[in-house]
Amino acid sequence: MTETPVTLDRILGGRVALWQPKAGYRAGVDPVFLAASVPARTGQSVLDLGCGAGAAALCLGARVPGLRLVGLERQALYADLARRNAGENGQDFEVIEGDLADMPTKLKQRQFDHVIANPPYFRRDQSVAAGNAAREGAHGEDVPLSEWVAVAARRCAPRGYVSFIQRIERLPDLLTAFTSCLGSVELFPLIPREGRDPQLFLLRGRKNGRAAFRLLPGLVVHDGAAHDTDQEDYTPEATGILRDGMPINMG
């Protein structure tokens, strides 16, 4: 196990224990929202591309028992932590160290009912790299979003679902990639406060889906016009998702 300093944090209202680096990429609410959006059922299989320390997969497993969870992670530190977190939470979560751009042999012949991803948000031709190597590996894009989607679609079983979370400025890139190889695409904005523009969005597509594109109403995450106290100000709907493990109903 790495000597990198780590902390034990509780997410999903304490239902998921997560060891993660004290410095570097640390899971926020994004993987929790991603997990909540996945329409998985007991007995199905899920592949988390770039799983990090396992936050999204483990939140999904906490909500839906009996899933077959697999994670692919290229950074050894996070792959080790994801395995540790699987044991910490008593979940059956197979973590494979490798790069989606060079898919490990043991995954090439497998398909999954659901493929999920929280890929790096920032194009490095338009932004500044993070100083911390682990954080940069999670936030800085060096594999195009189109390749993330193509890999997800290949690993997705027919009629299965692919679910991503991403920043709103990447919507044109991600939507183009989804519609090129998936159908029944649904866009769900995450709106920081009433009257504000979305900052994040969830996008879901179906392998061999035929339904028309749907733009859904989305979710307002915070109450009020501004955060002006030390208390959390999540809306009741967001609280249900982030603290109580409720699903996001995308219809």
The strand pairing partners of 203, in sequence order, are 164, 187
Q: pLDDT tens-digit profile of 157-176?
A: 999 999 999 999 999 999 99
Average pLDDT, the chain: 91
Q: pLDDT tens-digit profile of 19-44?
A: 999 988 899 999 999 999 999 999 99
Higher pLDDT, 208 or 122: 208
At residue 139, the pLDDT reads: 43
Closest Cα to residue 15, out of 63, 65, 83? 63
Q: Are 185 and 175 in contact (CB under 8 A)?
A: yes
Determine whether domain 6-221+232-242 maps to CATH 3.30.2350.10: no
Q: Alpha-carbon distance 118 to 182, whole Å?
A: 18
Going from N- to C-terminal start, the domains of the chain cover 6-221+232-242
Closest Cα to residue 11, out of 46, 63, 87, 67? 63
- pLDDT > 70: percent of the chain: 90
At residue 142, the pLDDT reads: 87
Place of tokens 């959006």: 37
Q: pLDDT tens-digit profile of 85-128?
A: 999 999 999 999 999 999 999 999 999 999 999 999 855 455 45
Residues 6+ apart with CB under 8 A from 208: 158, 159, 183
At residue 2, the pLDDT reads: 44
